[in-house]
């Protein structure tokens, strides 16, 4: 503004005589008056410039996020067109060699079905129509092939159910029922826990070919949103009961402090090993505790979720020495053993989960006004913010701006960086977990920094994962090493690039609040389901132990934050467990009688 005043002031200098007075400033004007007029004009110019800057800046801000959302849409289309032109209908696509292949003798719709709701949300009717036609004419699940129950449920069943909800097209629901009937045989084990795989034609469950036949904990406990929503849509109780039975079996193990080992055996229903982590094979167990509560408001899952968060805070959360970054480690030998500072990128889902769990999907400011808000929820939200920032730094602090699959954090004050990356962990599969949490945190806080973080990550994906063929067609692929520039590429595009990563980025930049978080819950593959009243279905089981008074409380925050519910030791007879727990914890009693209204029992 000083420069403008000088320019304006220069006009007051005397000019040669001879001009009419109205064209010439009089030489006798007082200095005081000159100064007042000059200041007034300077003020007017400043005001005009400020208002112009304000209008332009705000217009630019609105336009910027819309244009950035369109950038994401275009990247999706580039990837999609490459797949459509060179690998259409196949389950696996290699964008560098431009080849597609199926995982079995016939296609499962791995790419197409997983992408349906993204096509709908991005308003791509032509592409959605083509995908629907392929599903109508080419997709069936009646052939001799073993599929992973978990992956097929979250991607295929979840994708079909979400597409049905968003489009109201019954074709997708019909295919979902066909698939569910093929998968349900995998639940027929001695314990009721699903086998790792199932034969689509025979319906026979197949044990895991490694790990002594054990299933991963995450896999058996990440089927519930899908099968319970299908039960609601069809009225078929079997889908609901099978899904609920799994949770009863797992909780009857009474894991200490809500934390569970990552393997469980379908023959016995018992956990195997002692490794506890929120990364691979463990992650979505914790995710679906909360999301089952959000989906149907069943109290038991909120209780289990709260216990698990308390356990995470107590046993797994640490900070780096250099920057104080919050991370979640692993207990290789269970509770009581040393903490490993290793963290999978998969754990980055947890920041967003904590935030949406704390607020019930309301904005942070709205949630703080609700009767349920308390110190515990505040601590959950803050931990979610801190962890999400750490995950952003896992991108920002790497040469390519893209996170590796795994990092090891540094707790020692030795002058070293906050984390390091082992040679075998340097790959990037275009995973969604960090942008997922950024999406949640932006929706809940309205803070544009989360959008900016997301756009930085998006730009890094575009810059380093893009591949272009000889005809100028563009696609995107996974990376072998994010620490090198240019990075070495892997010739593979995962379906979650379409289903999750680009969807969450698109929604992060959205201005219309698509998929409100208090009305929807995303499954672990980013397929949105609406929340619903579970009637006529009910939880169908009750926990073996409960805190005094919990059966009557209406709000979960009434449980003491200072002393969370304790868990009974595992692998002992039930009666012995009851005696030990009651003796050590006077405030804990045996479950209420069936006449007490703590849990609804399925009739």
**Cα–Cα dist 52/513, whole Å:** 29
Point out the catalytic residue in the list 244, 283, 330, 344. 283
Point out the catalytic residue in the list 257, 307, 433, 510. 433
From the list 246, 362, 368, 237, the residue with the least C-alpha distance to 304 is: 246
Q: Which two tokens mark 440?
A: 């949640």
Active site residue 405: yes
From the list 385, 427, 436, 435, the residue with the least C-alpha distance to 403 is: 427
Assess contact for 187 and 194: CB atoms under 8 A: yes
Any residues with CB less than 8 A from the CB of 514 and at least 6 apart, and which?
A: 121, 507
Give one DSSP letter per residue of 412-473, joined into a string: S-SS--SEE--GGG--B----HHHHHHHHHHHHH--THHHHHHHHHHHHHHHHHEEE-TT--
**Cα–Cα dist 580/586, whole Å:** 10
Check whether 296 is labelled as a binding-site residue: no
Any residues with CB less than 8 A from the CB of 574 and at least 6 apart, and which?
A: 544
Point out the catalytic residue in the list 91, 219, 385, 405. 405
Q: Which two tokens mark 598?
A: 């703590």
Number of other residues whose CB lies within 10 A of the CB of residue 559: 19
**Cα–Cα dist 464/458, whole Å:** 10
Any residues with CB less than 8 A from the CB of 137 and at least 6 apart, and which?
A: none
Number of other residues whose CB lies within 10 A of the CB of residue 399: 12
Active site residue 433: yes
User: What kind and span of H or E run contains 365?
Assistant: helix 364-367
State CA 60 to chain mean position distance: 29
Residue stretches of the annotated binding site: 524
Residues carrying an active site annotation: 151, 283, 405, 433
Residue stretches of the annotated binding site for Ca(2+): 524
């Amino acid at each position: 503004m000083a420069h403008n005043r000088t320019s304006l002031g220069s006009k007051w200098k005397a000019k040669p005589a001879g001009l009419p007075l109205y064209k010439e400033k009089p030489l006798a004007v007082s200095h005081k008056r000159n100064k007042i007029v000059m200041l007034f004009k300077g003020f007017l110019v400043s005001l005009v410039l400020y208002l112009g800057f304000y209008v332009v800046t705000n217009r630019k801000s609105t336009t910027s996020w819309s244009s950035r959302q369109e950038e994401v849409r275009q990247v999706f289309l580039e990837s999609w067109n490459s797949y459509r032109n060179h690998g259409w209908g196949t389950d696996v696509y290699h964008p560098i060699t431009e080849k597609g292949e199926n995982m079995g003798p016939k296609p499962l719709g791995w790419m197409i079905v997983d992408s349906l709701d993204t096509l709908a949300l991005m308003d791509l009717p032509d592409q959605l129509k083509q995908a629907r036609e392929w599903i109508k004419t080419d997709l069936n699940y009646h052939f001799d092939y073993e599929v992973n129950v978990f992956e097929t449920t979250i991607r295929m069943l979840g994708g079909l159910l979400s597409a049905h909800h968003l489009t109201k097209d019954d074709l997708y629901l019909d295919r979902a029922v066909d698939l569910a009937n093929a998968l349900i045989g995998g639940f027929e084990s001695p314990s009721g826990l699903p086998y790792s795989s199932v034969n689509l034609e025979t319906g026979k469950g197949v044990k895991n070919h490694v790990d002594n036949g054990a299933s991963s904990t995450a896999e058996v406990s990440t089927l519930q949103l899908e099968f319970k929503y299908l039960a609601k849509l069809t009225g078929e109780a079997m889908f609901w009961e099978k899904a609920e039975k799994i949770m009863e079996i797992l909780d009857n193990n009474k894991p200490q402090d809500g934390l569970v080992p990552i393997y469980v055996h379908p023959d016995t229903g018992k956990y195997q090993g002692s490794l506890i982590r929120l990364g691979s094979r463990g992650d979505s167990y914790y995710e679906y505790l909360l999301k089952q509560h959000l989906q149907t408001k069943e109290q038991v899952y909120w209780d289990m979720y709260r216990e698990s968060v308390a356990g995470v805070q107590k046993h797994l959360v640490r900070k780096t020495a250099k920057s104080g970054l919050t991370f979640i480690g692993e207990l290789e030998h269970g509770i009581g053993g040393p903490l490993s500072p290793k963290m999978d990128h998969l754990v980055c889902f947890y920041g967003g989960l904590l935030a949406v769990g704390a607020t019930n999907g309301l904005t942070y400011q709205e949630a703080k006004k609700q009767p349920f808000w308390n110190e515990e929820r505040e601590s959950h939200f803050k931990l979610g913010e801190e962890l999400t920032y750490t995950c952003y730094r896992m991108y920002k602090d790497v040469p390519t701006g893209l996170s590796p699959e795994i990092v090891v954090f540094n707790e020692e004050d030795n002058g070293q960086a906050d984390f390091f990356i082992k040679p075998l962990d340097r790959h990037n599969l275009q995973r969604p977990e960090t942008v997922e949490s950024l999406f949640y945190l932006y929706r809940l806080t309205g803070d544009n920094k989360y959008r900016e973080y997301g756009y930085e990550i998006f730009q890094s994906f575009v810059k380093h994962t893009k591949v272009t063929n000889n005809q100028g067609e563009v696609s995107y692929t996974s990376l072998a090493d994010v620490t090198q520039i240019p990075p070495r590429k892997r010739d593979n595009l995962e379906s979650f690039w379409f289903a999750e990563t680009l969807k969450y980025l698109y929604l992060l930049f959205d201005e219309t609040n698509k998929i409100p978080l208090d009305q929807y819950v995303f499954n672990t593959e980013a397929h949105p389901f609406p929340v619903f009243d579970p009637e006529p279905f009910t939880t169908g089981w009750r926990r073996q132990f409960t805190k005094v008074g919990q059966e009557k409380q209406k709000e979960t925050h009434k449980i003491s934050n200072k002393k969370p519910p304790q868990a009974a030791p595992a692998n002992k007879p039930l009666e012995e467990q009851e005696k030990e727990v009651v003796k050590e914890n006077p405030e804990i009693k045996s479950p209420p009688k069936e006449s007490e209204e703590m849990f609804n029992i399925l009739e």
